[in-house]
Amino acid sequence: MEIQEAVKKLKENNKLLSAYYHAMGVLYYDFDTVAPKNAVGGFSETMATLSEITYKLSVNEENFKLLDLLTEHEAELDEITRREVEQAQRGLKLLRNTPMEEYIEYQRVQSEANSVWHEAKAKSDYSLFEPVLKKLVDFNRRFASYAEPGQDPYDYWLNEYEEGFTQEVLDKYFEKVRSALVPLIRSIGEKQQPESGFLHKFYPAWKQRALSDHLMQVMEINRDDCAIGETEHPFTTGFNKHDMRITTHYYENALESSMYSVIHEGGHAIYEMGNCDELTGSPLFGGASCGMHESQSRFYENIIGRSKAFIELVFPKIKEMFPEELEGVDADMFYKAVNRAEPSLIRTEADELTYSLHVLIRYEIEKKLMHGELDTKDVPAEWNRLYKEYLGVDVPCDREGCLQDSHWSGGSFGYFPSYSLGSAYGAQILHAMRKELDVDALVKNGEIGKVTEWLREHIHKYGMIKKPAELIRICCGEDFDPDYYIKYLTDKFSELYGL
């Protein structure tokens, strides 16, 4: 086959897959937001049928040959096509090297694990989950050895989720995080906490919906390109740069919850809406990695959204909407309340300061599991020991401990670090941005669009064309350096708590 012809075939396949993923994405969004409850049967069946079709479109000898030919001639390809081929090969590496029966068995175990985990969590009974977790750990260790024989299995999985990252990098990263944050959090623990009870008065959902609209406007999100829905767990999904969906959940006794969900998910949406037009319909549409995606959502949520400047910008409107609930509260009090930092049990509810320690605990446990150094039976004890050591909290039950997250039940080992890396990327990006922009002044003036413009030019436009480490170099002019993150957190929280 001629290279030109092969490229044409690749693009046709991409276009076809992109239509299927679009349909499946809308089915999923619809199911989670508006479908009636009993739609589940038909939904699952249609998703299974479409998944099988897309699977067969990628996993077949003809496609393998096509990709191998293109890889061989990669020097002749343009950058986008070259990266498309590289990503397709990355995605197929595991499947091409794993015996089919094992992979099918793994999928069966995964789906079993999901329902077992739900039950175990509801009953707070780890012993129900342990046998299936053990199977999943074994599968993941074995699959890593098929995909990259001889490589450390945890390094294989880390690289799958955050391309270019290994334990060597992450060990150093987390050691810095741990040694800086543990004493900082301890010092804050001795200080008086700011008042935050006013965030938990009654805030009716219909008024919070209006606040969401306002926040999206402040973020300069074009609503003709981005809709908002409501789900139990907020998420973002995008089909192309003109069709993004974010969701939130309104708790009527917690104003902060949906407010920061909207800003967080809005950040994810802004990232993809900023992809260059060439990526429409390409598998490279989206974010460079989980960590890079998280860096953008957390940038808007924490670095912008929990900054003094942002609170000064939006507080007058919030107070206007909730004059009684916020009587006697000023912008400074609101700023302090939404930045309240305190060791806690649940990762997804953790504050900006303590968040990475939750991730570190999971990192340490995953590493030992992948190395066969920790028996799955001993996960709860290890979990509880680490929570006590790093965060100083006692875990009362496994439901609020090692059963809280769904990731392991889905067979994901190595995903968690990207959550923390996202925050660290963000602080380094902020440092670079500040060389060119007066970020605080722009935010205070309601010119968040200018911040977004900078991010678009340095990060968003690339979609998945660049690897995360490359993007950091492009954006910041240097390699990833966690010191910016440590400094950002130390400065912000020292000032907040008067250390």
Binding site for its own copies (CB under 8 A): 15-16, 19, 22-24, 26-27, 29-30, 33-39, 41-43, 45-46, 49-50, 206, 222-227, 229, 239-240, 242-245, 280-281
As measured in angstroms, the least distance from the Cβ of 271 to its own copies is 16
Catalytic residue among 160, 265, 301, 352: 265
- The one-character DSSP state at 334 is H
Asked if residue 295 lies in contact with residue 422, where contact means CB atoms within 8 angstroms, the answer is: yes
Quote the CA–CA distance of 177 and 488 in Å, as a whole number. Answer: 12
Q: Which is nearer to its own copies, 35 or 59 (CB)?
A: 35
Asked if residue 225 lies in contact with residue 273, where contact means CB atoms within 8 angstroms, the answer is: yes
CA distances from 65 to 14, 111, 348 (A): 16, 31, 43
Number of other CB atoms surrounding residue 445 within 10 Å: 12
Quote the CA–CA distance of 228 and 223 in Å, as a whole number. Answer: 9
As measured in angstroms, the least distance from the Cβ of 222 to its own copies is 8
- The one-character DSSP state at 304 is I
Q: Which is nearer to its own copies, 202 or 394 (CB)?
A: 202
Q: What angle do CA 266, 202, 348 make, to 5 degrees?
A: 45
As measured in angstroms, the least distance from the Cβ of 219 to its own copies is 15
Q: Which is nearer to its own copies, 33 or 166 (CB)?
A: 33
Print burial letters for 284-301: b (CB count within 10 Å at least 16), e (below 16). Answer: bbbbbbbbbbbbbbbbbb
Asked if residue 259 lies in contact with residue 251, where contact means CB atoms within 8 angstroms, the answer is: no
CB within 8 A of 207, min separation 6: which ones? Answer: 321, 322
Q: Give CB contacts under 8 A, 24+ apart, made by 246-254.
A: 247/32, 247/33, 248/212, 250/205, 250/208, 250/209, 252/202, 252/203, 252/204, 252/205, 252/208, 253/200, 253/201, 253/202, 253/203, 254/199, 254/200, 254/203
Quote the CA–CA distance of 104 and 110 in Å, as a whole number. Answer: 10
Q: Which is nearer to its own copies, 194 or 229 (CB)?
A: 229
- Catalytic annotation on 265? yes
Q: Which is nearer to its own copies, 241 or 367 (CB)?
A: 241
Quote the CA–CA distance of 112 and 417 in Å, as a whole number. Answer: 25
| Of the candidates 359, 298, 352, the residue with the CA atom closest to the CA atom of residue 158 | 359
Q: Which is nearer to its own copies, 93 or 209 (CB)?
A: 209
Quote the CA–CA distance of 468 and 38 in Å, as a whole number. Answer: 41
H-only helix segments in 308-447: 308-321, 331-338, 355-370, 379-386, 417-436, 439-444
Q: In what order do the strands lie in the sheet with 243-248?
A: 226-230, 243-248, 236-240
- The one-character DSSP state at 239 is E
Lookup: tokens for 6: 């092969």
Q: Which residues are catalytic?
A: 265
